């Protein structure tokens, strides 16, 4: 029986890994009856039959299972969808691709690889016919004509044939679905129409599992324009190591010869499309250049001994490596030594090793690479042999992906990282760093001008500064595992109010209108009751661009979007600490150092808290008390401004320095009412 179980059963942990949920979530689903074990092992631990796991995955993917419907991670929810932002605004082809996806969606299931290849071949044929002014073809359904009549494509046949596999099925599919091939596309130079069709037809779940996020052309152009302004790219070797369908290479000015362009990707269809795109742009029929320069390889494991003048692109984010791959990558890459291996860190490390001296790297990356702890090894590596030429904060630019991004352009000069001469675009202004700064691998802190940096440094080094590190109790709000079952909008004698992050304002909270019976033993996760029932505590929004802390002395419950802390700083009143954390000084410090939409314990623990005498604290507390209850907008703002000015004085800021902070935070929501 033991051998059979090993072959045919998986543990709960293995099941959770396969459907991409946490082990704690899996245990809670078992408790709620959402998943059911078929047997157990000799120690009484649940085991799930392999057939059951595969059926669960299939149900989730098809949408028949409701298990993941409310989860943020919808890895197995799939299908085709137009990738709206990919082409430039005003493209005449966007509507055509939208029509295609609507036709595909009617059939109710995703296309397979052969079907996608045929649709791409139809589009490619139409563009070659237009580009080369080839006669003898209709406007649409040209793939069928090309195959039946054997029409000449003026030497580009090999590129179309690369897309055509399983040829015995082609004619039957064309006959069954003529509507997929009846759309007339229009060739536009340097437009990656093929890429848009491919990513829109491709299963969305599959794209996410390999970290594929195709970069909108507006962002590609930003990167290319900044690269060519101030850098000589003529007759220089340019590589995109994760080229996808070639959009970055397409946007390189046509004056750069195709013989200087190199691309690589792990996805074979993407590589075929890159070759077609370059052949269209450059009238290129040279197989040797297209096949030798644009290759199918795993950049992270393939030994590429060439060196390049420029390396550009958008490396994969969140690629799911197998256990065997992870073992090999840990042996090869410094930045894989941490617990979590992030694919774009590895691409950065490998790309830097393929740059010539004074070569330039320019990547689109998640902003997290600058400040999240797990990326510390790559930041340490970046500090060794290169300098940052240009940094642009892009915000959220990918369709339905909440992940702020950056353009990071670096010079490989074999010198320690320096800030001087670095240009920064923070989305509101563009400035150049003229004075050297202390660079900490713990967090790259560049979203401030030289003037702002001086003020930030003053906050960092305020005399007598204290922090909450090891001087506070932190706890997460309650995770019920099933809010519908445990939370109601009706108040009864048995239940009590529970708060969400959205119910918090600075200093106070609003009535949530949500109630629960407190039964921690049935919840998925809950802190010890003493945290929620503390005589006084601070509640804070977990997801927010601002620091929002509220005072609670009513032992109020909170969900996990509303976490809590209980300060334990000697001689520091909790309301004084509340004033510090809600001040513009704290917000300025937080924004310029972390710029995160998640308020983490590690962030809060670093915020400087200036020492204040008892009399100073007493004055601050009196002002805080005016903000502990909801008030009209005018009163709330007036009271806050008075309190914030007092806090600026305690931070020992001059009026000019305080004005710098206010200007940096202008137009930001105060979350007061």
Domain ranges of the chain: 2-62, 85-209, 215-447, 472-664
Per-residue pLDDT reduced to its tens digit, 565-608 = 999 999 999 999 999 999 999 999 999 998 888 999 999 999 99
* Burial class of 48 by CB neighbour count within 10 A (0 to 12, 13 to 18, 19+): buried
Specify the DSSP element, H or E, that contains 47: strand 46-49
Contact indicator for 250, 219 with CB cutoff of 8 Å: no
Which of 618, 665, 479, 457 is closest to 557 using CA atoms? 479
- What confidence category does residue 6 fall into, taking pLDDT thresholds of 50, 70 and 90? low
User: Is pLDDT above 50 for 351?
Assistant: yes
What gap in Å lies between CA 373 and CA 602, rounded to an integer?
Answer: 10
CA dihedral 34, 35, 38, 41 (to 10 degrees): -120
User: Is pLDDT above 50 for 528?
Assistant: yes
User: Is pLDDT above 60 for 206?
Assistant: no
Contact indicator for 31, 66 with CB cutoff of 8 Å: no
Of the two residues 25 and 336, the one the predictor is more confident about is 336
What gap in Å lies between CA 323 and CA 85, rounded to an integer?
Answer: 35
User: Is pLDDT above 60 for 649?
Assistant: yes
* Burial class of 602 by CB neighbour count within 10 A (0 to 12, 13 to 18, 19+): exposed
Least confident of 309-318, 330-339, 357-366, 496-505: 330-339
- What confidence category does residue 445 fall into, taking pLDDT thresholds of 50, 70 and 90? confident
How many CA atoms lie less than 13 Å away from 285 in the CB half-sphere? 7
What gap in Å lies between CA 421 and CA 36, rounded to an integer?
Answer: 60
What gap in Å lies between CA 243 and CA 247, rounded to an integer?
Answer: 7
Instruction: Give domain 215-447's CATH superfamily.
Output: Vaccinia Virus protein VP39 (3.40.50.150)
Which of 75, 70, 61 is closest to 29 using CA atoms? 70
What letter would DSSP give residue 256?
Answer: S
Residue whose token pair is 């059911």: 36
CATH classification code of 2-62? 1.10.1660.10
Average pLDDT value over all residues in the chain: 91
Residues of the chain with pLDDT > 70, as a percent, come to: 94
Strands 9-11, 46-49: pairing is antiparallel
DSSP string, 611-636: ---HHHHHHHHHHHHTTSS---HHHH
What gap in Å lies between CA 193 and CA 144, rounded to an integer?
Answer: 21
What gap in Å lies between CA 581 and CA 546, rounded to an integer?
Answer: 10
Q: State which CATH number among 3.50.50.60, 1.10.10.60, 3.40.50.1240, 3.90.220.10 fits the domain covering 472-664.
A: 3.90.220.10
Q: Rounded mean pLDDT of 408-425?
A: 95
What gap in Å lies between CA 156 and CA 276, rounded to an integer?
Answer: 9
Residues of the chain with pLDDT > 90, as a percent, come to: 74
- What confidence category does residue 71 fall into, taking pLDDT thresholds of 50, 70 and 90? very low
Per-residue pLDDT reduced to its tens digit, 127-176 = 999 999 999 899 999 999 999 987 889 999 999 999 998 778 899 999 99
Contact indicator for 192, 246 with CB cutoff of 8 Å: yes
* Burial class of 361 by CB neighbour count within 10 A (0 to 12, 13 to 18, 19+): buried
Looking at residue 5, its pLDDT comes to: 45
H helix intervals, 19-112 = 23-32, 50-62, 93-106
Q: Rounded mean pLDDT of 190-194?
A: 97
Task: List the structure tokens of 480.
Answer: 């019920």
Of the two residues 645 and 14, the one the predictor is more confident about is 645
Alpha-carbon 229 to chain mean position: 28
Contact indicator for 80, 202 with CB cutoff of 8 Å: yes
User: Is pLDDT above 80 for 203?
Assistant: no
- Backbone conformation region of residue 379, classed left if phi is above 0, alpha if psi is from -120 to 50, else beta: alpha
Per-residue pLDDT reduced to its tens digit, 9-58 = 888 888 887 887 777 778 878 877 788 888 888 778 899 888 888 888 77
Backbone Cα Rg of the chain: 29
What gap in Å lies between CA 298 and CA 296, rounded to an integer?
Answer: 7
To 5 degrees, how large is the angle CA 389–CA 394–CA 398?
130
Which of 199, 210, 226 is closest to 94 using CA atoms? 199
User: Is pLDDT above 50 for 483?
Assistant: yes
Which of 77, 96, 311 is closest to 188 using CA atoms? 96
Q: Rounded mean pLDDT of 502-530?
A: 97
User: Is pLDDT above 70 for 349?
Assistant: yes
DSSP string, 127-178: HHHHHTT--S--SS-HHHHHHHH----TT-HHHHHTT--SGGGHHHHHHH-G
Task: List the structure tokens of 266.
Answer: 């792990």
């Amino acid at each position: 029986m033991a051998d059979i179980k090993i072959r045919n059963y998986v543990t709960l942990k293995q099941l959770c890994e396969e459907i991409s949920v946490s082990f704690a979530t899996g245990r809670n689903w078992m408790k709620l009856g959402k998943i059911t074990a078929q047997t157990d092992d000799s120690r009484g631990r649940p085991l799930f039959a392999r057939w059951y796991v595969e059926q669960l995955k299939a149900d989730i993917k098809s949408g028949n299972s409701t298990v993941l419907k409310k989860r943020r991670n919808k890895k197995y929810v799939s299908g085709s969808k137009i990738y709206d932002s990919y082409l430039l605004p005003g493209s005449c082809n966007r509507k055509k691709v939208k029509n295609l996806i609507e036709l595909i969606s009617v059939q109710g299931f995703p296309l397979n690889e052969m079907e996608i290849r045929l649709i791409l071949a139809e589009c490619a044929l139409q563009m070659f016919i237009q580009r080369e002014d080839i006669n003898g073809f209709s406007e649409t359904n040209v793939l069928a004509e090309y195959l039946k009549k054997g029409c000449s494509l003026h030497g580009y046949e090999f590129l179309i044939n690369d897309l055509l596999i399983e040829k015995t099925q082609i004619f039957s599919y064309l006959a069954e679905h003529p509507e997929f091939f009846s759309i007339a596309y229009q060739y536009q130079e340097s437009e990656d129409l093929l890429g848009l069709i491919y990513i829109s037809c491709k299963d969305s779940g599959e794209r996410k599992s390999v970290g594929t996020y195709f970069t909108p052309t507006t962002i590609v152009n930003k990167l290319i324009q900044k690269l060519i302004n101030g850098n000589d790219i003529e007759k220089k070797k340019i590589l995109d190591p994760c080229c996808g369908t070639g959009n970055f290479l397409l946007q390189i000015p046509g004056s750069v010869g195709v013989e200087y362009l190199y691309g690589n990707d792990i996805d074979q269809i993407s590589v075929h499309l890159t070759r077609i795109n370059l052949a269209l742009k450059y009238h290129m029929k040279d197989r040797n250049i297209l096949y030798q320069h644009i290759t199918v390889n795993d950049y992270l494991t393939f030994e590429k001994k060439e060196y390049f003048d420029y390396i550009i692109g958008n490396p994969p984010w969140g690629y799911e490596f197998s256990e065997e791959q992870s073992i090999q990558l840990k042996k090869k890459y410094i930045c894989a030594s941490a617990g979590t291996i992030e694919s774009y860190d590895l691409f950065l490390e490998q790309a830097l090793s393929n740059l010539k001296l004074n070569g330039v790297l320019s990547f689109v990356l998640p902003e997290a690479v600058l400040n999240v702890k797990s990326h510390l090894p790559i930041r340490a590596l970046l500090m060794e042999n290169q300098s940052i030429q240009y940094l642009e904060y892009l915000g959220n630019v990918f369709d339905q992906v909440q992940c702020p991004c950056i353009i990071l352009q670096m010079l490989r000069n074999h010198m320690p990282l320096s800030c001087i001469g670095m240009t920064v675009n923070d989305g509101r202004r563009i400035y150049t760093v003229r004075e050297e700064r202390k660079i900490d691998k713990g967090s790259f802190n560049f979203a401030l001008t030289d003037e702002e940096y001086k003020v930030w440094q003053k906050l960092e080094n305020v005399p007598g500064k204290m922090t909450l590190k090891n001087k506070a109790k932190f706890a997460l709000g309650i995770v019920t595992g099933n809010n519908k079952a445990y939370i109601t909008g009706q108040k009864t004698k048995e239940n009590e109010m529970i708060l969400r992050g959205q119910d918090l304002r600075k200093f106070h909270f609003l009535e949530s209108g949500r109630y629960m019976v407190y039964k921690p033993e049935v919840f998925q996760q809950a802190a010890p009751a003493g945290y929620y029932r503390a005589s006084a505590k601070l509640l804070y929004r977990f997801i927010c661009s601002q620091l929002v802390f509220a005072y609670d002395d009513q032992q109020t419950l909170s969900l996990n979007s509303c976490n809590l802390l209980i300060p334990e700083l000697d001689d520091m009143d909790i309301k004084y600490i509340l004033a510090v954390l809600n001040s513009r000084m704290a917000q300025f410090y937080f924004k310029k150092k972390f710029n995160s939409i998640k308020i983490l314990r590690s962030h809060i623990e670093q915020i400087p808290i200036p020492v204040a005498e008892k009399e100073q604290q007493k004055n601050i507390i009196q002002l805080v008390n005016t903000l502990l209850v909801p008030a009209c907008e005018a009163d709330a703002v007036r009271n806050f401004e008075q309190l914030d000015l007092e806090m600026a004085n305690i931070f020992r800021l001059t009026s000019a320095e305080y004005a710098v902070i206010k200007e940096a935070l202008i137009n930001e929501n105060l979350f007061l009412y």
